[in-house]
Chains A and B, each alone.
Chain A
Amino acid sequence: MYPTLHSALPSSNLLHFESSTQRPRLFFPKKMHSFGYRLNALLTFSVTILAIICAFASYSDNLNLPSPSAQIQVLNVNWFQKQPNGDDVVSLTMNISANLESMFTWNTKQVFIFVAAEYETPLNALNQVSLWDGIIPSKEQAKFWIHTTNKYYFTDQGSNLRGKEFNLTLHWHVMPKTGKMFADKIVMSGYHLPEEYR
């Protein structure tokens, strides 16, 4: 890391005087050594420090224990049909309210949230259908409520949705400025679809 005593001494073989009129001639490999080594040391040192800071920033996220809360109300089933290809499709109106402020740390770039309907059918052990999503860019916007219809079609694989009980889950995906990404969810159960198409 430090220049060696050898190369720092002016009397070393770093300088060669060929004649008195010529400028001192630098012996190339030695010069290469000191300059290259210093550049290398500086670069290695700064990259190491940067890596340590990044690792620390990512690790510090573990110290934060978020306590988010959320509520979703299904206000209305707008329409409920069977598509020509045989798949059931539903349009819902929902009221989503959540407080995700505790998720934000100094290393949080944004939090991606989405609401998914989850249910079981005779064909599938698990169906997850994303209905709505959004990006929360800052802590100030992390406490919100929204009145919305589903952004993506609530479509089943098949025709199993009549009278179906389903869960609504609020998932979040914390995207950091650097390091490890976190994800978790709140499950809300006890929602039913109507017995008949409408």
Chain B
Amino acid sequence: MGWIGETVESIKSLQIRQVLTQAVSLGMIVTSALIIWKALMCFTGSESPVVVVLSGSMEPGFKRGDILFLHMSKDPIRAGEIVVFNVDGREIPIVHRVIKVHERQETGEVDVLTKGDNNFGDDRLLYAHGQLWLQRHHIMGRAVGFLPYVGWVTIIMTEKPIIKYLLIGALGLLVVTSKD
């Protein structure tokens, strides 16, 4: 009881000025995280510059929980690149390798076929019904960098929301009760 009582007491004893300072510092933390994310978006040209691998379709290269850094440039898409694409009617983007490219003479439009390294067949079964090729607008970015395991943090937090709330609560308490 004593521990909780003291915490409540220490929160009660805060001056209005301190409360404001803490609110501002909390805001600073949140906004700086946002700034970093948006800056990455600008810098990489991809709407989601960092993605977490969720399935084992690219094993043993990428395992579940690994992080990929994406880059979206004007460069043409070529066979062998690992791209992240969205299929109409599917919410979760897919990370697979390009195995076929057909680029038009005049317009430069591309037809792309992808396949997961660990999958037996190509991705036509994953595409929308009747869709044979991916076009440029389906592709969100190409993978340029790799970091193992870090993505488990977000996987655990999305699958066990309780851990997320506990963590946010603990961090919030830490910020509120810290005095300088």
Contact = CB atoms under 8 A, between A and B. Distances in A.
Interface stretch (B3-11, B22-30, B41-49, B83-91): B3-11
A29 B179 contact: yes
B79 A32 contact: no
Contacts of B60: 109-110, 135, 137
Given A116-B79, A152-B122, A36 B178 contact: yes
Interface residues of A, number: 38
B130 interface: no
B56 to A, nearest CB: 14
A57 to B, nearest CB: 11
Contact of B80 (A28, A125, A171, A180): A171
B143 interface: yes
A110 B83 CA distance: 18
B99 A114 contact: yes
A65 interface: no
Contacts of A130: 79-80, 99-100
Nearest to A177: B148
B147 A178 contact: yes
A129 interface: yes
A32 B177 contact: yes
Contacts of B78: 128
B145 A33 contact: no
A148 interface: no
Contacts of A133: 99, 117
A123 B105 contact: yes
Nearest to B5: A28
A124 interface: yes
Given A32-B177, A36-B174, A110-B61, A180 B117 contact: no
B79 A114 contact: yes
B129 interface: no
A54 interface: yes
B40 interface: no
B105 A181 contact: no
Contact of B103 (A36, A126, A152): A126
Given A29-B179, A180-B145, A114 B80 contact: yes
A179 interface: yes
A173 B82 CA distance: 9
B148 A127 contact: no
Given A124-B102, A152-B99, 9 more contacts: A28-B7, A58-B145, A114-B80, A125-B108, A126-B102, A173-B82, A175-B146, A179-B146, A180-B144
Interface of B: 3, 6-7, 10, 60-62, 78-82, 97, 99-105, 108, 111, 117, 122, 143-148, 174, 177-179
Shortest beta-carbon contacts, A-B, top 5: A130-B99, A128-B79, A128-B101, A28-B6, A126-B103
